[in-house]
A and B are shown apart, each in its own frame.
Chain A
Amino acid sequence: MRLEVDDDELAACVSCGLCLPHCPTYRVTGEESASPRGRIAAMRAVHAGAEAGPAFTSFMDLCVQCRGCEAACPSGVPFGRLMEGARRTLVAERRYQPWWRRAGYRLLGHHRLLLAASSAAALAQRAGLVPARLGLPRLPVRRPRLDASGTDAWLFTGCVMDAWMRPTHAAALRAMEATGAGVTPVGAGCCGALAEHAGLAEVAGGQAARVVASMTGTAPVVVDSAGCGAVMKDYGRLLGTPGAQAFAGRVMDVSEWLATRPLPTGRRLPLRVAVQDPCHLRHVQRAHAHVRTVLTPYVEEVVELDDDGLCCGAGGAYATVHPDMAARIRALKLEAIAGARPDVVASSNPGCAMHLAAAGVVVRHPVEIIAEALGGPEALGG
């Protein structure tokens, strides 16, 4: 089975193994099949004609797509692209994503429907109808309104995050506006990241095109979800149009954008904050340093986790699809957090935040901490 990957990129891995310790699934299992090097070797074997049986699919499927391997690889192997290519081929030739997963990814693009479904689930939760083992956070029945204040920057609000964690967007708006900018929040449904990672290129492309069309002009497109930001910065490749390329160039993580602004004065909160770097901020956008820059003035102490940015196991939809592996990976992160003894963990990605919160960690988005330090009239409690 020929995989939809570039031959040279597939050949670039020299099997040195330097990526192994940075791979969460390898850390947990110790198996080559769950490592970047092994996954690449399996892709090569299949690409060269070996049978792509259930083993191959499961090796590919167990990857979190955290791309910790990519940042660690001295040979510059573009692992994310290889994995997406392999999954696209599996989708096309092996019915890799079952209908219910595909339907789920599609729903994310239909924002009103998603909001309604989420509110219904929230009510069901209140009525005790949602089993706790699904690991859902407490869903909001009502959400705060987000109002536009100007046109200096856009704030992209996304899909699930908007439905479940809108107070984080409110905090982002508050922090951005405090720097003197006028901001317009835009919800245009899912950015396409989840579908892209699943190998559903068509679904992802449709969603991406809708997002590009929703934020015209030249103002920066600010994103407070690291996973969304990462794929939006890659729209040029995903859509292959000059317009998408130009759009991608305007995308910034909210901390990255704040770091370019004069930071407003605020209180210094008596908190020891451990920064958890979402993989797609650290390994993909490589913009994680800004989080420290913008948090430092507002808290007593910013501390690092001693795990080289190893993935927490959330991985977008991963924790839903592979709850056991996600929990085993999370256990490593919990150890690192315990070692840092923080009052609160700052995470710039809603998926990571929910995944860690489900294990009892106190997690907040950096902008929520900043917004609290800035004080003000807004009711920011979530």
Chain B
Amino acid sequence: MRTLLEDLTAALGAGAVKGDPLELALYARDASVMEGSAGCVCFPTDAAQVQAVVGVARAHGRSVVPRGSGTGLAGGAVPIGKPGAEPVVVVTTRMNRILSVDAAARTAWVEPGVLNLDLSRAVAHLGLHFAPDPSSQQACSVGGNVANNSGGPHCLAYGVTTAHVLAVEVVLSDGSVARLGGTDPDPTGYDLRGAFVGSEGTMGLATAVLVRLTPLPPAVRTLLADFPSAESAAETVSAVIAAGVVPAALEMMDQRITVAVEDFVHAGFPTDAAAVLLAEIDGLPGGVDAAVATVVELARRHGARQVRVAADEAERALLWKGRKSAFGAVARIAPDYYLHDAVVPRTRLSEVLQRVYEIADANHVGVMNVFHAGDGNLHPLFLFDRRVPGALERVHEAAGEVLRICLDAGGVLSGEHGIGLEKRDYMPLLFSEDDLAAQDALRRAFDPERLFNPDKVLPSGSRCGDIRSLPEGVWV
């Protein structure tokens, strides 16, 4: 029998399959802190090639791990498998064509490897964009967005990825190609598209996506307010929403992260403020002006020291660049970070924030906070240096505590980064056994043999008790 590598090479051609150990090691992780190991890596260029890969993987008893740009923060693209049975990683970077754009219907068929920002840029001349805008949008793929049902600052007004995906073409574990969803606003039958979006690569591999495109707003204003305390910023957020204003985005950063960001972008973020709020209002010019006035007024009333409205597109872009590079900029302070992703009711933001600082202090780890404040999505970042003995364990401890206080405050496990590998074993904290069994049944309907990304999302023990062993370094 031929080897896995030989069979894949026969199916895809030599340049599209990698097996060198050093090269495989480069696919051991994504942007999370977890690590696995890949058996083979391949780069199909269309659905037929993906079908071929699925056939070969099955024949060799290997699982398949889809991978887009590898910017996932929950380990979704991390390949996990026993030695000798490591997964085949299927990378979508060479499936990166925009297949068709229908400007009138405001839709486009795209391949999964198209980068989020590239898509928006490509349709900007039509006055359109792809609304989900994760902070990683310059780098992450539409396929990854679909798999993780990703959000972003502007999803406060526009909704997360699932609101912008009409249909998905998927290669399933038996090698067939199915089209889920359609252009019909209310398709007949089960909403399989809805089940697939957010499935984190566990139900099949998306080979094409029909996305909804959103008109660029006629007017946009971005403002930056700085506050003497995190509470006053959080209260402003609640007041804005209570006043009936729905900003396109409402983001908060605490002082520590603001300092790190300013060091990178030099956009004039006030580094002495306890917290800053970045708000964006868009819509028709008249309405925008009125809403801006309301936000400015509310910010002032809640103690904002200064409210700055971006004067032009360049200033606006710079402010957003600052916000969107917040995670990365943290590395200027410590070599490793662990990023938390939790959601709490908006009214309890400042209280939870206070607890986060206390937990970090008690565990002697540094912490910084960014939030999608408008929807209560909290991102504490714990700073550490993995080369320091015990550092990782202390962060692990703090992260677990934060998760528990968020759940106690009525929150959920993941705001937008997914469950992946990282939060898989926390699922029982939120779901009963029956809940998990129902989810597993859905997954089995798509992928009865757990061919796709088997060790992700659902605790593998929840169904048949086969506790899979995790390689060393995997952190769940």
Residues in A lying within 8 Å of B, measured CB to CB:
8, 11-21, 29-33, 37-38, 41-42, 45-46, 50-51, 53, 55-56, 59, 73-77, 306
Contact = CB atoms under 8 A, between A and B. Distances in A.
27 contacts: A12-B331, A14-B31, A14-B328, A14-B336, A14-B337, A15-B31, A16-B136, A17-B69, A18-B325, A18-B328, A19-B139, A20-B69, A21-B139, A30-B93, A32-B23, A32-B27, A32-B70, A33-B18, A46-B22, A50-B25, A53-B20, A59-B22, A59-B23, A74-B325, A74-B328, A76-B332, A77-B331
A220 to B, nearest CB: 25
Contacts of A13: 331
B118 interface: yes
Contacts of A73: 328
A217 B29 CA distance: 53
Interface centre among A16, A20, A21 (most CB of B within 10 A): A16
A286 to B, nearest CB: 11
Interface centre among B91, B140, B328, B337 (most CB of A within 10 A): B328
B439 interface: no
A76 B325 CA distance: 11
Contact of A14 (B22, B93, B331): B331
A51 B138 CA distance: 33
Given A18-B138, A45-B25, 16 more contacts: A12-B331, A14-B328, A14-B337, A17-B30, A30-B43, A30-B96, A30-B113, A32-B70, A33-B18, A38-B26, A50-B22, A51-B22, A53-B22, A74-B331, A76-B331, A76-B332
B73 to A, nearest CB: 9
B117 interface: yes
Nearest to B140: A17
A33 B139 contact: no
A235 B395 CA distance: 42
A20 B20 contact: no
A13 B331 CA distance: 7
Contacts of B136: 16-18
B321 to A, nearest CB: 9
A22 to B, nearest CB: 8
Interface in B107-121: 113, 115, 117-118, 121
B139 A14 contact: no
Interface centre among B22, B69, B139 (most CB of A within 10 A): B22
A187 B52 CA distance: 60
B328 to A, nearest CB: 3
B461 interface: no
A21 B138 contact: yes
A62 to B, nearest CB: 12
A58 to B, nearest CB: 10
B142 to A, nearest CB: 13
Interface residues of B, number: 42
A46 B21 CA distance: 12
Contacts of A11: 335, 385, 387
A31 B93 contact: yes
B94 interface: yes
A59 B326 CA distance: 29
A289 to B, nearest CB: 11
A306 B70 CA distance: 25
Nearest to A52: B22
A30 B27 CA distance: 12
A74 B327 CA distance: 8
Interface string B392-424: 000000000000000000000000000000000
B264 interface: yes
A20 B67 CA distance: 14
B335 A8 contact: yes
B326 to A, nearest CB: 8
B255 interface: no
A323 to B, nearest CB: 17
A194 B93 CA distance: 32
Ranked 3 nearest A-B pairs via Cβ: A30-B93, A74-B328, A75-B331
Given A30-B91, A55-B23, A74-B325, A17 B335 contact: no
Nearest to A32: B26
Contacts of B264: 74, 76
Contacts of B202: none
Contact of A20 (B43, B121, B139, B327): B139
Contacts of B115: 21
B71 interface: yes
A306 B332 contact: no
A17 B70 contact: yes
A75 B329 contact: yes
B325 A33 contact: no
Contacts of A76: 264, 331-332
A166 to B, nearest CB: 38
Interface string B317-346: 000000001111111100111000000000
A368 to B, nearest CB: 29
Given A21-B115, A30-B94, A76-B331, A55 B337 contact: no
B390 to A, nearest CB: 17
Contacts of A18: 71, 136, 138-139, 325, 328
Nearest to A56: B22
Contacts of B332: 74-76
A74 B381 CA distance: 15
B30 A15 contact: yes
Nearest to A11: B335
Contacts of B140: 17
Interface centre among A20, A59, A75 (most CB of B within 10 A): A75
Contacts of A306: 121
A9 to B, nearest CB: 10
Nearest to A19: B139
Contacts of B326: 74
A31 B22 contact: no
Nearest to A22: B138
A377 to B, nearest CB: 41
A15 B327 contact: no
Interface string B88-131: 00010110100000000000000001010110010000000000
Given A74-B329, A76-B264, A16 B26 contact: no
Interface centre among A18, A21, A42 (most CB of B within 10 A): A18
A12 B387 CA distance: 12
Interface in B10-40: 18, 20-23, 25-27, 29-31
Given A16-B71, A76-B264, A41 B25 contact: yes
Contacts of A20: 69, 139
B312 to A, nearest CB: 16
A350 to B, nearest CB: 30
A55 B24 CA distance: 11
Given A13-B331, A20-B139, A74-B264, A42 B26 contact: yes
